[in-house]
Each structure stands twice: as structure tokens, then as C-alpha cells.
Structure 1
Amino acid sequence: MPAYNVTLKSGASPEELEAAKKKVTDSGGKIVNEFKLIKGFTAEFPKDAVHSLETNDHVTVEADGEVKTQ
């Protein structure tokens, strides 16, 4: 399954983050990492289930990928 980073938008409540986690697990996905410095997590879940999270006004969803510095 593809991995996605889900982060809470500014001004959103912690309950919104918990609701996003529940949406992931209810869609057959799993949380693989929870962030410490920002409110968010990385999850693996079916690509066809991503749309349900992307329509949430309280979180940002981005495909997980390698980050390089120059």
C-alpha cells in the first residue's frame, strides 16, 4: 500500500487528528509513524481511500517520499 503523510492544518483541533487516524484505520490502513514536532502521522492505506481524507478541511495529505538536501 502507498504511504501518505497526514498533517493537521493550523487552527484545527486535536480531535480532528484523531478523526483522521480513525478514517485511515476504518479504510483498512495502518498508522506507521506519528510525528513528534508537528501534529500528524504517516499511514499506509489503499490509494482509492485517499480521496476520503483529502476532502477533510482540517488536514493536509501528501504522498510520502524521499527528501534530499543539496
Structure 2
Amino acid sequence: MKLIAFLLAFLSVFSAALAVDVQKQVIITYPENTPNHVLDEAKGAILDAGGVILHEYKLIKGFAVKAGEKVLDTVQTMGSQYNALIEEDQVVSSS
């Protein structure tokens, strides 16, 4: 009986570890004609989900974040009317 209890406890911990949302660092941009409330809603959803706003851009409508994949899917859906573009933040270099 102790073996079954131990096995169930192990499986519970293991399944909880698999359910952790993977954090990604991305840049989210919108077209210039996008209303500011759309960006505010997206940032609010990211913060509510435990994400972090890393940088807000001034020259373009957008921001850099570190957030889970689930909330990024939500933000993509929220901004689909305004063509939200979500791309991984990468180092760009010239050869």
C-alpha cells in the first residue's frame, strides 16, 4: 500500500512539473494605426499571467516581454484584428 501512495505522489509532482508554462522572450509589435487600448490590454494580460514587460518602444508600437507561451497565444488572439506580430527576441548581427 505504501508503494502505491508513493507512486501516486511521484506522479502528481511529475505531472505538475510538466504543466509549467515555458517562458519566452519576445517582441510584440502592432501597426501604427492600432489604438493604444489594444496595447494596454495586451500588457495587462501579460502582467496578470506573471510575465514581465522588458521594454516599451517609442519609434514603433510595441514592447518586449518575457512571458509564458499560453499568454502569448492569448495576446496573439486579442490582437488578431490589428495584425499583432509576435517574434522571438534574438541578437541581430551583420556579417
**Runs of 5+ unmatched residues, structure 1:** none
How many pairs does the alignment contain? 70
2:43 to 17, 21, 29: 21
Is 2:30 aligned against 1:8?
A: yes
Query: How high is the sequence identity, in percent, across the aligned residues?
Result: 27
Comparing 17-26 and 55-64, the one that deviates more: 55-64
Q: Please list every run of 5 or more consecutive structure 2 residues that lacks an aligned counterpart in the other structure.
A: 1-22
Q: For 1:48 and 1:27, how far apart are their aligned partners in 2?
A: 9
- Correspondence for 2:91: 66
Following TM superposition, by how much is the alpha carbon of 1:19 offset from its aligned partner in structure 2, in angstroms?
1.0
The structure with higher relative contact order (CA 8 Å, sep 6+) is 1
Q: In 2, are the aligned partners of 1:8 and 1:16 still within 8 Å (CA)?
A: no
1:11 positional shift: 2.5
TM-score, length basis structure 2: 0.65
Displacement of 1:45: 0.6
Answer with 1 or 2: which has the greater Rg: 2
C-alpha contact (below 8 Å) 2:32/2:60 kept by paired residues: no
* Shift, 1:10, TM fit: 4.2
Aligned-pair Cα RMSD in Å = 1.4
Query: Deviation digits for residues 25-65 of structure 1, max 9, x if unmatched?
Result: 11110101111110110000112322111222122111111
**In 1, Cα distance between the equivalents of 2:39 and 2:94?**
29
* Amino acid in the other structure paired with 1:65: Q
Structure 1 runs of 4+ aligned residues shifted over 3 Å read none
